[in-house]
Amino acid sequence: MQEGVYTVYAVSEPKSRTDLAGIPHATVAIRFAVPGQSNASFVADVTGGPAPLTVRFTDTSSISATSWSWTFGDGGTSTAQNPVHTYAAAGNYTVALTLNGGGETCTRSAYIKVTPILFGDANGDGAVNQADTLRVLKEVVGLETKPASGTEQFQKTDVHRNGIIEVGDALFIAQYNVGLRDVWFTLI
């Protein structure tokens, strides 16, 4: 049997679980876990973006906990079940949740990726989308003016990080938009 949560049906006579109308029955959820694997788990509403980045963490652990201890990788901590944390500086941060004073722990390495600026926002509208891909292509063929080297807009556009704005930057932005690259524009 694979790890997961399963529903068990108890009935007073043999019947399909889809045909229990009028038959006394009860259900209970049972969780099967891999031995030695932690039952602690969590998710974040966002896992990457420019600083300052506010992240809402949600405890999704499969056990009932009475205490939570979070470390956010930047020196910040919390004892809330579902904390909100703001990352002020760029970097990749490892997040850990420990339940019940150390009984169960979930650690996610480099889970939160914070950039100094919104890389890929070539048109400066505060979002990275296909309009940015088109903007870079227009800059490459001379239909739009390229941002000056050394400016923040140049850094946002030169996601290929080779010192020039080229078709590769448009390709990287397009790949980001379909989920092939993360906020640092590294392959996922």
> Which band of pLDDT confidence, cut at 50, 70 and 90, is reported for residue 24?
confident
**Is the pLDDT confidence value at 135 over 80?**
yes
Average pLDDT over residues 163-176: 96
**Is the pLDDT confidence value at 167 over 90?**
yes
Average pLDDT over residues 94-105: 93
pLDDT of residue 5: 56
Average pLDDT over residues 32-55: 85
> In degrees, to the nearest 5, what angle opens at C-alpha 39 toward C-alphas 37 and 40?
115
Longest dimension (CA), the chain: 78
pLDDT of residue 9: 66
Q: Give the residue among 126, 114, 62 at the shortest CA–CA distance from 86.
A: 114
> Which band of pLDDT confidence, cut at 50, 70 and 90, is reported for residue 29?
low
Burial class (CB in 10 A: 0-12, 13-18, 19+), 102: exposed
pLDDT of residue 4: 55
Helix (H) or strand (E) holding 129: none
Q: Give the residue among 93, 78, 88 at the shortest CA–CA distance from 47.
A: 93
Cβ–Cβ under 8 Å, residues 67 and 100: yes
Average pLDDT over residues 104-124: 96
Q: How far is CA 153 from CA 122, 139, 145, 165, in A?
A: 7, 13, 12, 11
pLDDT of residue 86: 98
The rounded distance, in Å, linking the Cα atoms of 159 and 155 is: 7
